[in-house]
């Protein structure tokens, strides 16, 4: 087990380095000179620009700049926002809790709905219950997140006045965005749970369990579900990562001051260092999530370790 | 399906075999036959065809101009004159939804074409040559996949700048890893087949084996993924325009229209509702068709 973990971490190091390089190169590709953006309207003479470029270290060779970027990033220094002048990390630390809160709440909702719907349609395979659940799931996959969000705001904020439309901070503000993301993500999960449950229900050990005379409930919960849920862990890991970066739209609509909104604002205002810092943070978090998923997967299904 | 011993499946297999013996068909005809028996995909295909026809014939269906401003007609609710009402500039929403369909379908299709043109050759060559080349390509794919969800498209937009054309490129690039993986996976299976080895022994060039012998055989899964991909690309494209990173006013783009209607939710619910409905119906019909295609091309589903 430990050997597997070590191997899994070791093979991801080159990818992590490549991601940092890519993010660094990105900074070079974004049109505009960071020093000019930083100076904004104050920019007057070439001398001042040259001085700022020197202060920011932009006059050094690119590989030196990259190594410097890497070294500083490893020590938690992601540079400063070109607009506020405050460290990027400081902005991140303020935004992360809001995004994490949303991601966890949405995950919880999607797991409850997705797993229940998936099990239900697998058990009632090829009946109207199955068809209906899968149709609902298909609607969920086809529903644009921004439209569902607007419909929710229209009914529950404008018409019924039950929940506040925008802002963050408490459960009332969290309810609608978490519900929207949870419901939409549950569709994918429901389809996944259904198909893996159907696979498992056809296994010999399920027939054995039934032949032993176990209660159907025991067969389903103890024997089938536990095995059927293993592949869905991967989906959950991917979902969590996507929620970190992909809550962009939801956060923007509900005006939640999370990572996604910070990211969009940075792109719109060409805050290159912020874009770089947030991209790096999300990509690394996502990779770490995937490593954790792989490791937990191999813990739950030992066959994987020996491949 | 592991459950081969149950009687019903044996019967199903027999009748399948009997059917095949009566009428020999190609794999493609077989798939089309299965597709035609799937009510969901038929419904999807019909809705999608109707949508495409309506969108192309937009100038003949509606007499209004999608971008012309008519101040005295502003914020009119749906009626017999304006089927979906008018927006804050007095423009007919129905007309804008129809013209918007041209844009959204184009975004979806072009984005997927970009992804296919880059991703499929990558996967094809990685799977065919294997070794170091394969490792290199798959590492690139891994790096691209370490940007979750819409993030990779956002990164591309950040570099290229916001515009509708760049949205197509961004959505296309962010889907490249999917096609590279599907193509590679299929090639790995196909290249062990007898006919591929036979082609090699006959002295065919690598390029000929790849494109003439292997490529047609991996088309099935690629078509399925590409169909579902168009649906996803339409949503992503609309999302980027919604965020203000794609189409610019007064373009009748669905995502942008939704975003413009946000400020009028209280007075004029119809501005955002109809473009949203249009996105959902389009994406749903493509997904229905795509799901049907997947079942039709997946031999495991034959038993059901």
Decide if the complex's ipTM is over 0.95: no
Task: Please report residues of A whose CB lies closer than 8 A to that of B259.
Answer: 146
**Cβ under 8 Å to A: B residues 114-173:** 139, 142-143, 146-151, 154-155, 157-159, 161-162
Q: Which residue of B154, B243, B280 is in closest CB contact with A144?
A: B280
Please tell me the pTM assigned to this model: 0.85
Task: Tell me if B240 sits within 8 A of B170, measured CB to CB.
Answer: yes
Contact between A154 and B269 using a beta-carbon 8 Å cutoff: yes
Higher pLDDT, residue A307 or B264: B264
| Residues A61 and A99 reside in one and the same domain | no
Give the helix ranges, DSSP H, for chain A: 2-29, 34-39, 46-55, 62-74, 88-123, 128-142, 145-152, 171-201, 204-211, 216-218, 226-246, 248-253, 259-268, 272-300
DSSP one-letter code for A212: T
The pLDDT of A9-30, averaged and rounded, is: 83
| Residues A143 and A44 reside in one and the same domain | no
Task: Tell me if B238 sits within 8 A of B253, measured CB to CB.
Answer: yes
Question: For the segment B50-69, what is each residue's pLDDT rounded down to a tens digit?
Answer: 999 999 998 888 888 888 88
How far off is chain A from B262, nearest CA to CA, in Å?
Answer: 7
Whether residue B254 is predicted with pLDDT greater than 90 in this model: the reply is yes
| Residues A62 and A204 reside in one and the same domain | no
Interface probe for B, chosen from A253, A267, A294 (most Cβ of B below 10 Å), is A267
| Residues A27 and A134 reside in one and the same domain | no
Residue B103, both tokens? 């844009």
| Residues A93 and A70 reside in one and the same domain | no
Check CB contact of A132 with chain B, cutoff 8 Å. no
Residue of chain A with shortest Cα separation from B256: A146
| Residues A213 and A252 reside in one and the same domain | yes
Among residues B254, B291, B262, the alpha carbon closest in space to that of B51 is found at B254
| Residues A282 and A135 reside in one and the same domain | yes
Question: For the segment A249-264, what is each residue's pLDDT rounded down to a tens digit?
Answer: 888 888 888 888 888 8
Question: For the segment B224-240, what is each residue's pLDDT rounded down to a tens digit?
Answer: 889 989 999 999 999 99
Contact between A144 and B276 using a beta-carbon 8 Å cutoff: yes
Q: Which residue of B158, B265, B284 is in closest CB contact with A139?
A: B284
Residue B64, both tokens? 């209004």
Return the CATH number at A207.
Answer: 1.10.3720.10
Element (H, E) at B8: helix B7-22
- What is the per-residue pLDDT for B45? 92
Check CB contact of A203 with chain B, cutoff 8 Å. yes
> Could you tell me the residue range of the domain that residue A65 belongs to?
16-74
Q: Sorting pLDDT into bands at 50, 70 and 90, what band is A192?
A: confident
Query: Does a structural domain hold residue A6?
Result: no
Considering its fold, how many domains does chain A have in total? 2
Task: Name residues whose C-beta falls within 8 Å of residue A158's C-beta, 6 or more positions apart in sequence.
Answer: A165, B265, B266
Task: Name residues whose C-beta falls within 8 Å of residue B171's C-beta, 6 or more positions apart in sequence.
Answer: B107, B111, B153, B233, B236, B237, B240
Q: In chain B, what percentage of residues exceed pLDDT 70?
A: 89
| Residues A39 and A185 reside in one and the same domain | no
Of B16-20, B118-122, B165-169, the one with minimum mean pLDDT is B16-20
Check CB contact of B66 with chain A, cutoff 8 Å. no
Query: Does a structural domain hold residue A276?
Result: yes
Q: How many CB atoms lie within 10 A of CB A102?
A: 28
- Which of A24, A40, A74 delimits the end of a domain? A74
Residue B147, both tokens? 């940007």
Q: In chain A, what percentage of residues exceed pLDDT 70?
A: 95
Of A154-158, A173-177, B261-265, B300-304, the one with minimum mean pLDDT is B300-304
Residue of chain B with shortest Cα separation from A144: B235
Q: Sorting pLDDT into bands at 50, 70 and 90, what band is B302?
A: very low
Query: Does a structural domain hold residue A10?
Result: no
Query: Does a structural domain hold residue A82?
Result: no
| Residues A194 and A58 reside in one and the same domain | no
Q: Cα-flanking dihedrals φ and ψ of residue B261, to 5°?
A: -75, -15
Q: How many CB atoms lie within 10 A of CB A77?
A: 15
Query: Does a structural domain hold residue A154?
Result: yes
Question: For the segment A118-134, what is each residue's pLDDT rounded down to a tens digit?
Answer: 988 888 888 898 888 88
Question: For the segment B236-245, what is each residue's pLDDT rounded down to a tens digit?
Answer: 999 999 988 9
CATH architecture, domain B24-57+92-296: Orthogonal Bundle (1.10)
Residue of chain A with shortest Cα separation from B300: A199
């Amino acid at each position: 087990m430990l050997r597997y973990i070590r191997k899994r971490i070791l093979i991801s190091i080159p990818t992590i380095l490549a991601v940092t390089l890519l993010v660094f190169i990105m900074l070079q590709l974004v049109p505009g000179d960071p020093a000019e953006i930083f100076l904004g309207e104050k920019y007057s003479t070439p001398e001042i620009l040259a001085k700022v470029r020197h202060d920011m270290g932009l006059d050094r060779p690119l590989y030196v700049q990259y190594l410097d970027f890497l070294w500083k990033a490893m020590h938690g220094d992601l540079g400063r926002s070109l607009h506020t002048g405050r460290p990027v990390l400081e902005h991140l630390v303020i935004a992360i809790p809001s995004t994490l809160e949303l991601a966890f709440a949405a995950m919880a909702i999607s797991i409850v709905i997705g797993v229940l719907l998936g099990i239900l349609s697998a058990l009632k395979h090829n009946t109207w219950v199955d068809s209906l659940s899968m149709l609902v799931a298909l609607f969920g996959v086809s529903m644009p997140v921004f439209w569902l969000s607007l419909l929710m705001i229209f009914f529950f904020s404008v018409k019924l006045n039950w929940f506040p439309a925008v802002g963050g901070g408490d459960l009332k503000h969290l309810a609608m965005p978490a519900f929207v993301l949870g419901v939409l993500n549950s569709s994918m999960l429901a389809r996944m749970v259904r198909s893996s449950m159907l696979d498992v229900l056809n296994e010999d050990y399920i027939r054995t369990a039934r032949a032993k005379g176990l209660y159907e409930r025991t067969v389903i919960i103890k024997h089938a579900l536990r095995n059927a849920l293993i592949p869905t862990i991967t989906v959950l890991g991917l979902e969590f990562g996507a929620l970190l970066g992909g809550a962009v739209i939801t956060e923007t609509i509900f005006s939640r001051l999370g990572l996604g909104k910070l990211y969009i604002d940075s792109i719109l205002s060409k805050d290159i260092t912020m874009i770089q810092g947030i991209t790096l943070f999300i990509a690394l978090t996502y990779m770490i999530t995937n490593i954790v998923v792989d490791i937990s997967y191999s813990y739950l299904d030992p066959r994987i370790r020996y491949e | 399906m592991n459950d081969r011993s149950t009687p019903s499946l044996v019967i199903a297999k027999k009748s399948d075999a009997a059917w095949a013996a009566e009428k020999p068909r190609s794999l493609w005809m077989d798939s089309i036959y299965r597709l035609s028996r799937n009510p969901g995909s038929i419904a999807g295909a019909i809705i999608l065809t109707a949508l495409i026809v309506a969108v192309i014939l937009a100038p003949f269906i509606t007499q209004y101009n999608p971008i012309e401003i008519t101040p005295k007609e502003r914020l009119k609710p749906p009626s017999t004159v304006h089927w979906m009402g008018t927006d804050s500039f007095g423009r007919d929403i129905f007309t804008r939804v129809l013209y918007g369909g041209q844009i959204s379908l184009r975004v979806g299709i072009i984005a997927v074409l970009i992804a296919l043109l880059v991703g499929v050759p990558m996967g094809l060559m990685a799977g065919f040559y294997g070794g170091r080349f394969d490792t290199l390509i798959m590492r690139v794919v891994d790096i691209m996949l370490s940007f979750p969800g819409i993030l990779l498209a956002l990164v591309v937009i950040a570099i290229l700048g916001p515009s509708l054309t760049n949205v197509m490129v961004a959505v296309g690039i962010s889907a490249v890893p999917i096609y590279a993986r599907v193509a590679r996976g299929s090639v790995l299976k196909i290249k062990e087949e007898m006919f591929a080895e036979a082609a090699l022994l006959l002295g065919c060039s690598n390029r000929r084996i790849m494109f003439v012998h292997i490529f047609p055989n991996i088309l099935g899964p690629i078509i399925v993924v590409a169909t579902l991909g168009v649906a996803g690309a339409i949503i992503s494209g609309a999302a980027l325009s919604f965020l203000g990173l794609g189409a610019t006013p007064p373009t009748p783009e669905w995502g942008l229209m939704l975003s413009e209607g946000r400020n009028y939710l209280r007075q004029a619910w119809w501005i955002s509702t109809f473009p949203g409905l249009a996105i959902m119906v389009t994406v749903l019909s493509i997904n229905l068709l795509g799901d049907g295609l997947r079942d039709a091309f997946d031999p495991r589903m034959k038993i059901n």
